[in-house]
C-alpha cells in the first residue's frame, strides 16, 4: 500500500518578485513548480484573482 504525507500551502508561502509588488500568477507558478521538483503534487486548490493579485490555498501530497 502506498503512503503519503500532506502539506497545506497558501499565498503566504509565495515570495513576491519585488519588494513592494504583490504576488502575481508567475510567482505562484514558480512556487508550485519548485514544490513539484521536490516530488509534491497539488491535489486540491482554491484560486482567487483579485485586482491582478492571485490568492490561493491548496493541499499537496508526496509519496513517502
Mean pLDDT of 23-48: 90
Question: Which residue range forms the structural domain that includes residue 27?
Answer: 4-63
Determine the pLDDT at residue 46: 92
Determine the pLDDT at residue 26: 83
**Beta partners for residue 57, in sequence order:** 10, 46
Give per-residue pLDDT as tens, 5-35. 999 999 888 887 665 566 777 888 889 999 9
Nearest to 53 by CA among 19, 21, 8, 5: 21
What percent of the chain shows pLDDT beyond 70? Answer: 88
Amino acid at each position: 500500500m502506498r503512503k503519503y504525507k500532506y502539506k497545506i500551502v497558501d499565498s503566504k508561502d509565495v515570495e513576491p518578485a519585488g519588494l513592494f509588488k504583490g504576488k502575481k500568477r508567475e510567482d505562484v507558478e514558480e512556487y508550485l513548480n519548485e514544490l513539484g521538483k521536490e516530488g509534491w503534487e497539488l491535489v486540491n486548490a482554491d484560486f482567487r484573482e483579485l485586482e491582478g493579485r492571485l490568492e490561493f490555498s491548496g493541499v499537496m501530497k508526496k509519496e513517502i
